[in-house]
Structure 1
């Protein structure tokens, strides 16, 4: 009996010790796990790619035909300016442009006579196409509401290093509409979006109708332009050569996929539209097409081949152009490579000629830039410097 008690006693002591050790071990593991978890929390990384995001809000009421024509003509100047832009991290930013029209009776009254023409896009042909599609008609111009709408609908992103700007142009009081412009500009400031205002008319009149106040609220710039002013374009000995090279450039595009045929046609159509507007506009568009900002990887095999994920083996035969349908993968690769080399050569020629063209203008005549172009580029450069952008 005594031996039984001893055995039971030893067992209880062993159990107690085992339980204590087990609890200690669990506690230690939990503690170690907690320390380990705390130690591996990574620091937030900044996005590698930086963007310039510009939303153009254009008044398309009856009196704004001149403004629309300036926008059509000077889109390419703005694009060409960003060819030379560099971010604070020494990378080149991607440019995205969105377009809204407001103040047109043809638009829905429920939407405040406002329409998103195109969301943020880097497709320069489509942006040009949408600009040329705009027509004017009388209406109510609600500045606060169109700013608010663009802030809500567009993907502005949260990267503090991106350059995010609204340019709103019109000629009626900034105070019109139910949505107060103070509220709209406050929302813009919260999203790190700078609102720049362009009054189409007398400078003092724009101040009196609160266009300047609308810009100041977000650290933006107020500008007044004569939107009906005719710009004197300067011809140079290099214009005709650049336009001919542009046609050769179009021949280096290899269309593919569902978008291919229509996008090739759109490219040619926008060339024609630019030329119809003015020969100099056609030249500036050609210069844009020779830059890094004119990319069409969604429908062109040359641009698509620049993407890391691109594989010739993954191309579907039925989506290829006629000249490639019966070729082997190796033959397709060679064909793309040849077109890429040809394009690079033409683009370089255009850029070299454009340098001579700009030097000719600078030396022989005073270049009279468009009012809208001047207003936008000055504001862009001033605000870009705050984000450590530089031009080189």
Structure 2
């Protein structure tokens, strides 16, 4: 069977909530003629962030790791979405780095920031599926240091700030001592979790465990070449049909709107390329609060109090909407919003039955990327008042 680890992970993340009474308020400032641009974004004080930086080894031996990431992404997001933290709103941000690839710049230490912290799940999926392996020279300390210095980490310690680094070469390689990088992370309340692709004892001997221990993180060893097992459920076909209906509720705008709308469909296909179960996991993620597209979708954008429909350029709307008045357009957006909520609710209800079915039919938990990520995120999240329904 095809692997589907990554999608599962993404889906898990989407159901999280936390301890405040109001939703986060994002302020979108748009310039005339450039309705697609998000110039400023403010996160309300009652928002808790889960910031996850994924540092993936893309050397020749890591094809299996990258496949697991692609296959389990949405299920991971979904599992995280079941978290609770009072009434506060949770914002998930994922950053992606690749390292150890000879195709990358030697001056940068064979490291590339693929994506800074982002809540655009389609963009994360696109970049993940574009990764290829080649080479290499794996400098763990260097890539950790780069992620600490380059990413926009939250300052408040109430946020969950995590680095996950996965690879199979000694943790000690490269120009930056991993101890120095880990000490810096500890001072900034960033937890490093290490995932060694190979034998558990070998990972300890090559200092992968010590790299996690410094920040009180988790060390795991996984079989990165193991393919994800697909378990079909009686609810999959209906959920996938609902996905097509869900896609029809999106109204693109802005000069990149049509492109982002196409990207949404492309990531549906990428998920399905691994398995139907992977596509189902992505659909569940799209029904969650983590899947928001205010920069290009009018339904999501209209939820923001600061959004001005009058600023939207008519020429950058779908053809069938270009001749509508502002009043007609508002009515159309409202209808699509109500339609979307109904579809998402149906998906969530079916997913509850799907999750129960999977629990009753899944074999013993395997040692894979998804399990390593979720175990660490839940354990460290509990230290900051996050909880998960069991």
TM-score range, shorter chain: 0.7 to 0.9
The SS at the match of 1:262 is helix
| Structure 1 counterpart of 2:339 | 342
> 1:81 Cα deviation (Å)?
1.8
Q: Residue 83 in 1 paired to residue 81 in 2?
A: yes
> 1:382 Cα deviation (Å)?
0.5
CA distance in 2, matches of 1:367, 1:315: 52
Alignment of 1:158-237 (within 5 A): 158-237=155-234
| Structure 2 counterpart of 1:251 | 248
Q: Residue 72 in 1 paired to residue 70 in 2?
A: yes
| Structure 2 counterpart of 1:52 | 50
Conserved in 2, the CA contact under 8 Å of 1:164 and 1:192? yes
| Structure 2 counterpart of 1:359 | 356
Over aligned residue pairs, what C-alpha RMSD do you find?
1.3
- Rate the CA distance shift 1:312–1:178 in 2: closer, same or farther, 3 A: closer
Structure 1 range deviating more: 175-184 or 359-368: 359-368
Give the TM-score taking structure 1 as reference length: 0.86
CA distance in 1, matches of 2:121, 2:366: 21
Q: Residue 110 in 1 paired to residue 107 in 2?
A: yes
Work out which of the residue numbers 309, 312, 324 in structure 1 matches 2:309: 312
Q: Residue 388 in 1 paired to residue 382 in 2?
A: no
> 1:356 Cα deviation (Å)?
1.2
Structure 1 range deviating more: 46-55 or 171-180: 46-55
> 1:311 Cα deviation (Å)?
2.6
> 1:277 Cα deviation (Å)?
1.2
Q: Which runs of 5+ in 1 are unaligned?
A: 1-45
> 1:368 Cα deviation (Å)?
5.1
Q: Which runs of 5+ in 2 are unaligned?
A: 1-43
Work out which of the residue numbers 321, 325, 332 in structure 1 matches 2:318: 321
The SS at the match of 2:50 is strand
Conserved in 2, the CA contact under 8 Å of 1:233 and 1:368? no
CA distance in 1, matches of 2:241, 2:58: 34
Conserved in 1, the CA contact under 8 Å of 2:98 and 2:111? yes
> 1:369 Cα deviation (Å)?
5.6
> 1:132 Cα deviation (Å)?
0.3
Work out which of the residue numbers 125, 134, 139 in structure 1 matches 2:136: 139
CA distance in 1, matches of 2:87, 2:174: 43
The SS at the match of 2:89 is coil
Work out which of the residue numbers 59, 62, 65 in structure 1 matches 2:60: 62
Conserved in 2, the CA contact under 8 Å of 1:231 and 1:369? no
Higher-helix-fraction structure? 1
Any idea what the Cα deviations from partners look like across 1:217-262, whole Å, max 9, x if unmatched? 0010100000001222111111111111111111000000011110
- Structure showing greater radius of gyration is 1
Conserved in 1, the CA contact under 8 Å of 2:223 and 2:367? no
Give the TM-score taking structure 2 as reference length: 0.86
| Structure 2 counterpart of 1:35 | none
| Structure 2 counterpart of 1:23 | none
The SS at the match of 2:47 is coil
Conserved in 2, the CA contact under 8 Å of 1:361 and 1:367? no
CA distance in 1, matches of 2:236, 2:228: 17
CA distance in 2, matches of 1:133, 1:370: 25
Conserved in 2, the CA contact under 8 Å of 1:141 and 1:176? yes
The SS at the match of 2:173 is coil
Alignment of 1:84-103 (within 5 A): 84-87=82-85, 90-103=87-100
